Chains A and B, each alone.
Chain A
Amino acid sequence: MRGRRRVDGAVSVDGPLAGRTAIVTGAGQGVGRGIAAALAHRGARVVVAARRAETGEPAAQEIRDWGGEARCIVTDITRAEDVERCVAGTVEEYGGLEIMVHNAFQGGRPHRLEDVDATLWATNSRTAVWGSYYSARFAAPHLRRAGTRGRLLLITSPAGVEGSVNIPVYAPVKAAQRAIAKSLAREWGPHGITVNCVAPVAETPALVGAFATNPVLKERLEARTALGRVGDAERDVGAVAAFLASDDASYVTGQTVVCDGGSFLGL
């Protein structure tokens, strides 16, 4: 029997996302993996789009182990042909695409703005912004077909609203994603498609790494977080992404949901 999500991790065939197909980029680890799991738990078929099979395959296998449907398609989000192939493979396998989640990101090492060179900029820009562009572009025809079930979710950051003193170019590329979401929300509204952002803070390999190199960051973050803890990628962040992907959020578009335990309160 499969009911709503149970403690043992069963997948819900009558869940809010049953019968829908999702692609989650960067789902091999961290926030992306949490979102993929949350969507799968609520009944969605999930394509784990990961740059490396070594992380993507285990993430997909974990979902299948629960009894969910998932597969990994190795995808470099910065390459148009990869994203095109990922979307085509998804549609071929599952018959459509309702939910496109772009989460993959590379960058985030501390730097000085005056020292930013073309390489550092390109890493941030290609994964966050070009990745959003490619995700939107290749998913677009399928989301249009999905109509009011069509969803584009871009995973951004509180830094995209408040700026960043440690990783300055992270802020503009994350901000650009919010502007893309707002603009596409306006442009695709007539089709019933919603476009939103989630701005999470969750315990991920990236954040753990950032804390390791900058212990003060952890202290500051915890001190200003109302709920006093760093979020869980699936339970805390994935749940919000799943809500935005569901029918319950059909009238929410162009928004950024900050899911960080009440750390950044500037929206």
Chain B
Amino acid sequence: MRALDGRVAVVTGADEPLGRGLALALGDAGARLALVGDAGRLAPLTTELESRNGRAVAVEAVLDERAALERAFATAADELGGPVRIVVHAAVPAVAYERVAFEDVDDARWDAVWEGTMGAALAVLQASFTLLRAGGGRVVLVTPTVAMSGAAQLVPYAAAMEGQRLLAKSAARQWGPDGITVNCLAPAPEQVPIGVTSSEVSLAPPALGGPGDAETDLGPVVAFLASDDAHFLTGETLCADGGVWMAP
């Protein structure tokens, strides 16, 4: 018996390496996966999951539209034969990763990165609430440590990641009585394509040698956060960055 056997998990951002690794780990822990995103881009991953005797479907939905997400989550639940119990949100608009000097950030960029990321996070959380409130569940938002450290030339991205991290805390405080836990997984900056290295935020090298592998190092952590064993953790940020940030 694996920790997530039979659970239905929704994962966003699995068409990128970090989200892909997390999805594979959730699948290996027994979860049946609904991958939100472009079916074509997700095809290699669904094939990989099925080759490991897992179950996965790709569902398309505009991430910042709550109603569309709720429909997509419901469809996924039907196809995978069970209620959604786990939501892992790793997607951000691609433009968010672009490193741009603050003086060159215009309204359109601020809107695309800040509002785009926060609009999606809010819609994913609200749709998760609709799906999870009847039976409780686990929501995990992926917020690289840049949220806490800040980064030059990444002002709107850092703002959005930290905004998302605190959105999770507020959600955790309000939805605890509904049996919903909301936590954040904070990987090293190298896990996302922003061109920031751990050495920019720490004097010491990563205690565990590097930023880790999305599937084999970060995957087990997200699987834990999604499991029953994590039932008493909420509003937390787990830094799985190989021992760099170490705060608080």
Contact = CB atoms under 8 A, between A and B. Distances in A.
Say if A and B assemble together: yes
Interface of A: 80, 112-114, 116, 121, 125, 129-130, 133, 136-137, 140, 160-165, 168-188, 254, 266-267
Nearest to A186: B152
Contact of B130 (A114, A165, A184): A114
A187 to B, nearest CB: 4
Interface stretch (B26-34, B80-88, B101-109): B101-109
Contact of B129 (A113, A173, A177): A113
Contact of A179 (B103, B129, B153, B162): B162
A125 B162 contact: no
B174 A168 contact: yes
Given A113-B125, A114-B126, A137 B105 contact: yes
Given A183-B155, A187-B153, 16 more contacts: A113-B175, A136-B155, A137-B103, A162-B169, A164-B170, A169-B122, A172-B162, A172-B167, A174-B166, A176-B160, A179-B163, A183-B151, A183-B152, A184-B155, A187-B102, A187-B155
Interface residues of B, number: 45
Contacts of B163: 129, 172-173, 175-176, 179
Given A172-B166, A176-B159, A266 B248 contact: yes
A179 B147 contact: yes
21 contacts: A112-B174, A113-B167, A113-B171, A121-B119, A125-B114, A129-B114, A137-B103, A162-B169, A165-B173, A168-B171, A168-B173, A169-B122, A175-B163, A175-B165, A175-B166, A177-B159, A178-B162, A179-B161, A182-B150, A187-B101, A266-B248
Contacts of B186: none
Contacts of A160: 166
A121 B163 CA distance: 12
A80 B110 CA distance: 12
Contacts of A184: 102, 150, 155
Contacts of A187: 101-102, 152-153, 155
B239 to A, nearest CB: 16
Given A163-B166, A171-B170, A183-B154, A140 B159 contact: no
Contacts of A173: 163
A145 to B, nearest CB: 14
Given A116-B122, A179-B161, A183-B158, A130 B110 contact: yes
Contacts of A175: 162-163, 165-166
Interface of B: 101-103, 105, 107, 110, 114-115, 118-119, 122, 125-126, 129-130, 147-156, 158-175, 235, 248
Contacts of A161: 166
Interface residues of A, dominant DSSP: helix
Contacts of B167: 113, 168-169, 171-172
Contact of A125 (B101, B115, B156): B115
Nearest to A80: B107
Nearest to B115: A125
A114 B114 contact: no
Q: Which 9 residue pairs are nearest across A and B when measured between Cβ atoms?
A: A182-B150, A163-B169, A168-B170, A179-B162, A175-B166, A172-B163, A183-B150, A187-B152, A165-B173
A116 B66 CA distance: 11
Contacts of B174: 112-113, 165, 168
A163 B126 CA distance: 17
B170 A121 contact: no
Interface centre among B163, B164, B173, B175 (most CB of A within 10 A): B163
Contacts of A163: 166, 168-170, 172-173, 235
A254 B162 CA distance: 14
A188 B152 CA distance: 8
A130 to B, nearest CB: 7
Interface centre among B101, B115, B164, B168 (most CB of A within 10 A): B115
Contact of A186 (B103, B148, B150, B160): B150
Contacts of B114: 125, 129, 133, 176
Contacts of B130: 114
A186 B110 CA distance: 19
